[in-house]
């Protein structure tokens, strides 16, 4: 027998700490939304700082292409350290921001609940339609194998809910929702879910066509307040990486030893 929507969501309902105890959807007051944005930005910076503080040179260096690093003409330890840290944080920031900001806010304003289904973030009971939403930062996230996996994850949830939804006369509506971008696409023969992005995504969740703009306005100067903490941790990471790079991957003259770097990475 298929689980009801309430039983499906109960186990993981409060996993993200910056989500308020009760989702209010578009009825969320301006003050409550302001507080939520601030809480989620604080969670974002806390995770960013934690990510930097635990980062070690070798952990990053072993994942980078040493031939590319040499080919782009990096000559000094400071150049290499800045490049490695920038590449690492650009990739990790997108993931962290999605988990600490986009997903919690989407859940709070949707009036839905956190899904326990693998790969699905939100479930929203919207009258005659029951929406299952996978929340992503941007619209260019899936290759063909990832699309197939997402199809399977939506299908698995549908099978769990099919009997219950049929009894209630509700249509199952699988959605990939993207925080930014303009892509809006119906399902296709290969992708059995629709894609909604940017303004259209936030409007579908809240009913407010201006909500996507409100989010950036409500950040106010809070990122600048948090940035100082992050810059302090960044400086520590730069110093730590530079020390280890010169100690382990430079010759006696101070020049980078690319053969040592390559041996560590690929030897």
Average pLDDT over residues 192-201: 96
pLDDT at residue 160 greater than cutoff 50: yes
φ, ψ dihedrals at 117, nearest 5°: -75, 140
Alpha helices in the chain (DSSP H): 5-9, 30-53, 57-61, 66-71, 77-97, 103-110, 144-168, 198-206, 211-219, 222-249, 258-266
pLDDT bucket at 267, cuts 50 / 70 / 90: confident
Measured between alpha carbons, how far is 81 from 85 in angstroms, rounded to an integer?
6
CB 68 within 8 A of CB 252: no
Residue 43 or residue 19, greater confidence = 43
CB 183 within 8 A of CB 141: no
CB 117 within 8 A of CB 8: yes
- Helix, coil or strand: residue 170: coil
Average pLDDT over residues 46-71: 96
How do residues 116-131 score in pLDDT, each as one tens digit? 999 999 999 998 999 9
How do residues 162-191 score in pLDDT, each as one tens digit? 999 999 999 999 999 999 999 999 999 999
User: Token match 């299952």: residue?
Assistant: 132
- pLDDT given at position 17: 36
pLDDT bucket at 13, cuts 50 / 70 / 90: very low
Domains of the chain (ranges plus CATH)?
Answer: 29-110+226-267 (1.10.3250), 111-220 (3.40.1560)
Residue 216 or residue 19, greater confidence = 216
Percent of the chain whose predicted confidence (pLDDT) is above 90: 84
Percent of the chain whose predicted confidence (pLDDT) is above 70: 90
pLDDT at residue 242 greater than cutoff 90: yes
Chain-centroid distance of CA 250 in Å reads 36
pTM of the model: 0.84
Contacts 24+ apart (CB under 8 A), 180-184: 180/137, 180/138, 180/139, 181/138, 181/139, 181/140, 182/139, 183/139
- pLDDT given at position 78: 96
pLDDT bucket at 141, cuts 50 / 70 / 90: low
CA angle 124, 127, 131 (to 5 degrees): 30
- pLDDT given at position 22: 36
Q: What average pLDDT is seen over the chain?
A: 89
pLDDT bucket at 266, cuts 50 / 70 / 90: very high
- pLDDT given at position 137: 84
Residue 188, both tokens: 């296709």
The DSSP H or E segment spanning 137 is none
CA angle 194, 161, 174 (to 5 degrees): 5
Smallest CA-to-CA distance from 172 within 183, 164, 182 is with 164
Average pLDDT over residues 212-218: 96
């Amino acid at each position: 027998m298929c689980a009801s929507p309430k039983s499906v969501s109960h186990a993981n309902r409060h996993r993200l700490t910056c989500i308020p105890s009760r989702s209010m959807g578009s009825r969320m007051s301006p003050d409550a939304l302001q507080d939520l944005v601030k809480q989620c930005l604080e969670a974002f910076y806390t995770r960013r700082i934690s990510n930097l503080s635990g980062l070690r040179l070798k952990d990053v260096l072993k994942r980078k292409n040493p031939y590319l690093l040499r080919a782009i003409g990096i000559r000094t330890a400071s150049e290499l350290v800045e490049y490695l840290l920038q590449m690492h944080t650009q990739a990790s920031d997108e993931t962290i921001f999605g988990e600490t900001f986009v997903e919690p806010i989407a859940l709070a304003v949707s009036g839905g609940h956190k899904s326990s289904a693998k790969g699905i973030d939100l479930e929203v009971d919207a009258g005659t339609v029951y929406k299952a939403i996978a929340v992503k930062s941007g619209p260019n996230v899936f290759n063909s194998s990832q699309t197939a996996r997402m199809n399977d994850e939506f299908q698995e949830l549908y099978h769990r809910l099919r009997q219950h939804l049929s009894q209630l006369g509700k249509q199952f509506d699988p959605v990939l929702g993207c925080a930014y971008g303009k892509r809006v696409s119906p399902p296709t023969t290969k992708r059995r879910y629709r894609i909604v992005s940017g303004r259209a995504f936030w409007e579908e969740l809240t009913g407010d066509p201006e909500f996507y703009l409100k989010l950036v306005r409500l950040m106010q100067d809070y990122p600048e307040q948090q940035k100082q903490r992050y810059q302090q941790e960044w400086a520590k990471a730069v110093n730590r990486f530079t020390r280890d790079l010169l100690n382990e991957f430079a010759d006696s003259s101070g020049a980078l030893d690319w053969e040592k770097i390559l041996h560590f990475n690929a030897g």
